């Protein structure tokens, strides 16, 4: 099976697996326990917190480990807006956020918050001017994803943060898809909070992190929680965190080289689709995009059919975000960029990773060619 669904999840790397096994054997104690075994686990946790903070250019006091990207997003948003609710009730986000955030903001609307959903253009890019114009005297918070998980369009987060900070608006960014793929640096992005996840960068599932600038006030979502400085309850997964940070260090160390390699593969895939004159359109921004995600619309063929046929031929791709599998509605991202329902259902996502080769791309394009030909007959 050729795996081309790395944006959904990645296999654990050898380095991450080794780190997990070693930590699980030697640092199995509860990091909150006061005996020596617990203290050893606490020291490892402290080292991991410092190392992860260094990778994103942040303060280790702002790192809170979680169970993954979804929990990171939910806890970051709720913890921050609860602490600033007395200042206002208006929130800003986009029409193309990950499901974890989109559903959260829908829920917040039922709780007395007003939410502005900034639209995107046909490439999935938001207008910075529109974001600034959405600010009111009651605006307290904005959540803008760093890059779209379906078409890979990268948003101008630094400029957005700069604009919103002029009005005292706190800015969060979902960086789950971008961390380890492109630079995620707090000093450059200028955000106050961000979320990342281990399983997108060859780390374990069920582990993630939130960064909240220590200068930003937040209120715990769970009363009397004692772990992670009260940010969340539950015994801390020290072996998983050690594995996560190991994977993160490896991804960041090799990021530039891997970015160039994946960008070449992406360009090659597009050139082959065009060369064979396949009825397939490339979605997303031509320049501001992640190197590993390729969103495609196969004309006249539902994405579900394309995905299943690829699977039959031994290739794993997806019809969009894995968090939306089983949903009958068309992709929100496709609708947001201006597609009709029928067009939106023709979308598939191909995403590359460490093991992807040019031969894999050739096989993929060949299968696409077969699928398109069969549908003509």
Q: What is the pLDDT of residues 124-137, one digit of tens each?
A: 999 999 999 999 99
Residue partners of 184: CB distance under 8 A and separation at least 6: 56, 146, 175, 178, 194, 196
Question: Rounded to whole angstroms, how far apart are CA atoms 313 and 307?
Answer: 10
At 239-291, the pLDDT tens digits run 999 999 999 999 999 999 999 999 999 999 999 999 999 999 999 999 999 99
Nearest to 45 by CA among 62, 27, 57: 27
Tokens standing for residue 115: 């939410």
Which of 115, 100, 50, 48 lies closest to 332 in space, CA to CA?
100
CATH architecture of 14-253: 3-Layer(aba) Sandwich (3.40)
* CB neighbour class for 175 (10 Å; exposed up to 12, middle 13-18, buried from 19): buried
Fold of the domain built from segment(s) 2-9+255-376: 3.90.1150
- Say how far apart CA 11 and CA 99 lie, in whole Å: 22
Measure the CA–CA gap between 63 and 59, rounded to whole angstroms: 7
Known catalytic membership, residue 48: no
- Angle made by CA atoms 178, 179, 185, in degrees to the nearest 5: 105
Catalytic residue among 221, 310, 323, 372: 323
In the chain, CATH 3.90.1150.10 sits at: 2-9+255-376
pLDDT by residue (tens digit) across 175-212? Answer: 999 999 999 999 999 999 999 999 999 999 999 999 99
Higher pLDDT, 332 or 225: 332
What is the location of CATH 3.40.640.10 in the chain?
14-253
pTM for the whole structure: 0.94
- 77 has pLDDT over 80: yes
CA 47 remoteness from chain centre: 24
């Amino acid at each position: 099976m050729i795996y081309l669904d790395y944006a959904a999840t990645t296999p654990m790397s050898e380095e991450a697996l080794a780190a997990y096994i070693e930590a699980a054997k030697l640092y199995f104690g509860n990091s909150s326990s006061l005996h020596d075994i617990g203290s050893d686990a606490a020291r490892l946790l402290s080292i991991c917190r410092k190392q992860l903070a260094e990778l994103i250019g942040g303060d280790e006091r702002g790192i809170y480990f979680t169970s993954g990207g979804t929990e990171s997003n939910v806890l970051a948003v709720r913890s921050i807006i609860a602490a600033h609710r007395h200042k206002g009730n208006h929130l800003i986000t986009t029409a193309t956020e990950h499901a974890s955030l989109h559903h959260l903001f829908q829920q917040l609307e039922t709780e007395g918050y007003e939410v502005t959903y900034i639209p995107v253009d046909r490439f999935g890019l938001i207008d910075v001017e529109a974001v600034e114009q959405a600010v009111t005297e009651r605006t307290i918070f904005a959540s803008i994803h760093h890059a779209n998980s379906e078409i890979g369009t990268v948003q101008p987060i630094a400029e957005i943060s700069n604009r919103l900070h002029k009005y005292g608006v706190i800015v969060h960014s979902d960086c789950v898809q971008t961390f380890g793929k492109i630079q995620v640096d707090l000093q450059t992005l200028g955000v106050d909070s961000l979320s990342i996840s281990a399983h997108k960068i060859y780390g374990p599932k069920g582990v993630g992190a939130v960064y909240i600038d220590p200068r930003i006030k937040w209120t715990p979502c769970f009363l009397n929680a004692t772990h992670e400085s009260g940010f969340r309850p539950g015994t801390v997964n020290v072996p998983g965190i050690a594995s996560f940070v190991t994977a993160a260090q490896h991804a960041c160390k090799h990021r530039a080289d891997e970015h160039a390699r994946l960008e070449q593969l992406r360009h090659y895939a597009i050139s082959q689709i065009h060369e064979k004159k396949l009825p397939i359109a490339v979605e997303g921004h031509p320049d501001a995009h992640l190197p590993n995600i390729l969103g495609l619309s196969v004309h006249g063929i539902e994405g579900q059919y394309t995905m299943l046929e690829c699977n039959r031929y031994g290739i794993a791709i997806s019809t969009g975000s894995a968090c939306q599998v089983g949903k009958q509605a068309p992709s929100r991202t496709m609708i947001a960029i201006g597609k009709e329902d029928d067009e939106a259902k023709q979308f598939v996502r191909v995403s590359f990773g460490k093991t992807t080769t040019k031969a894999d791309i050739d096989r993929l394009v060949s299968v696409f060619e077969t699928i398109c030909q069969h549908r003509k007959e």
